[in-house]
Structures are given as structure tokens and as C-alpha cells.
Amino acid sequence: MSRDTSGRRLGALGEERAEAFLRERGYRIRERNYRCPLGEIDIVAEEGDTIVFVEVKTRKGLAFGWPKEAIGRRKMRKLSQVASFYLKEKGLLERKARFDVVSIILSPEGEDIEILPNAFDLAL
């Protein structure tokens, strides 16, 4: 199995865990893996009257640092562009929106899931 295939499988598993984690906390999932010409957002959800764009970062351990640390300015800008496209496409521009990050460590010792609500601001 190639490293890329292994990474995609780990990412998909992380997204499944994140979706269940969010549902347990009262989020309503609108879409998973929303794609548009500008890119992709892992999960689009609602919490109360707020649209929540969720980036899921999954790792097998901490050898490369915490998953949440893997989101740089470039990624934030890309997610902001996709989120803006989504809100416009769905006619939701008047709704409150935010970005959450779900950080997941899946190791032989177990799993550690953390959510960072309002992790960053719209960065266009």
C-alpha cells in the first residue's frame, strides 16, 4: 500500500470519527467532503444558527507535532475561499459562519480527539 493510499485511508477514518464526535456534541452535519472549483472542505455543519466549516486533521502519533498545527496561512486562505463559495452557492451569505478544527490522534494506545471552535477567521 502506498503512503498516499494509507494517508487517504487515515484521513477518511479521521473524518468518520470527527463526524460522530460533532454529532455527539449537537452539530448537525450538512455535508461531508464538499467540493467546488476552488477546493474542498472536510465537513460543513450547523451549530445553532451558525454554519461551521470543519477541517479535520488526523495523525497516527505526535512525531510530526499536533495535527491542529498543520493548518498554515495558505490552507486558511484556501478554506476561506471555499467557504465563501459555499455560502454564496447555497444562499447563506447572511448566516453567521466560523471555522472549527478537529484534531485527531489515532494511535495504538487509543484515540485523542480535540475540537478547536472558531479556530481561525475568514482569510481572503
Domain boundaries defined on the chain: 3-120
State the pLDDT confidence band at 3, using cuts at 50, 70 and 90: very low
Beta bridge partners of 86: none
Q: What's the pLDDT score for residue 79?
A: 93
State which fold the 3-120 domain adopts.
Trna Endonuclease; Chain: A, domain 1 (3.40.1350)
Calculate the dihedral angle through the C-alpha atoms of 124, 47, 59, 61, rounding to the nearest 10 degrees. 120
The rounded mean pLDDT for the chain is 86
Looking at per-residue pLDDT, the higher value among 7 and 99 belongs to 99
